[in-house]
């Protein structure tokens, strides 16, 4: 029961930045609810996969791919570009906390001097943030790579 409540809470809170960025990107009014739903689906999928033991990088990749696939489906259904639905939906999964922790570690290294612990913390957070951003980009590109190819994959 607590997993369902945590999942619903995660999905509801992910809808807010997705909707906010959809408004910033001037998404048509009819598509706003789909951006919010896409953000909830993506973040909820990542939450569940991480709960089941998958790393945040792979969970983000799977969630971004799922959001991309759903965005392609919605784009065919509503005759809009898939990016209308997907870009704002992926914003809640941007690794701001890891980038922030990396920057704080850099500032601490600058202020206190070099230490292996701070260096390791900085490298860990920088790599995690980079891999999450790569997972978002590749996951978003996956439907295009699979569906919009001129030649067959196999």
H/E stretch holding 14 reads helix 2-24
**Nearest C-alpha neighbor of 140 from the set 73, 71, 64, 85:** 64
| b/e code 56-78 from CB counts within 10 Å (16+ = b) | bbebbbbbbbbbbbbbbebbeee
Are 82 and 71 contacting, i.e. CB atoms less than 8 angstroms apart?
yes
- pLDDT of the residue at 154: 66
- pLDDT of the residue at 145: 84
pLDDT digits (tens, 9 = 90+) for 56-111: 999 999 999 999 999 999 998 999 988 999 999 999 999 999 999 999 999 999 99
- pLDDT of the residue at 20: 96
Over the chain, what is the mean pLDDT?
94
Distance CA 148, CA 46 (A): 25
Helix, strand, coil percentages (3-state) for the chain, rounded to 5, are: 85, 0, 15
């Amino acid at each position: 029961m607590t997993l369902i409540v945590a999942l619903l809470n995660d999905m509801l809170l992910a809808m807010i930045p997705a909707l906010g960025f959809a408004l910033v990107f001037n998404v048509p009014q009819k598509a706003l609810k789909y951006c919010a739903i896409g953000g909830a689906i993506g973040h909820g999928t990542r939450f569940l996969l991480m709960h089941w033991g998958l790393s945040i990088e792979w969970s983000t990749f799977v969630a971004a791919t799922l959001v991309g696939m759903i965005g392609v489906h919605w784009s065919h259904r509503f005759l809009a570009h898939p990016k209308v639905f997907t870009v704002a939906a992926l914003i809640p999964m941007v690794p701001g906390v890891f980038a922030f922790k990396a920057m704080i570690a850099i500032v601490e290294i600058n202020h206190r001097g070099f230490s292996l612990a701070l260096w390791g913390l900085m490298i860990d957070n920088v790599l995690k943030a980079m891999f999450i951003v790569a997972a978002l980009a590749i996951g978003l590109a996956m439907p295009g790579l699979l569906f919009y190819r001129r030649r067959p994959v196999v």
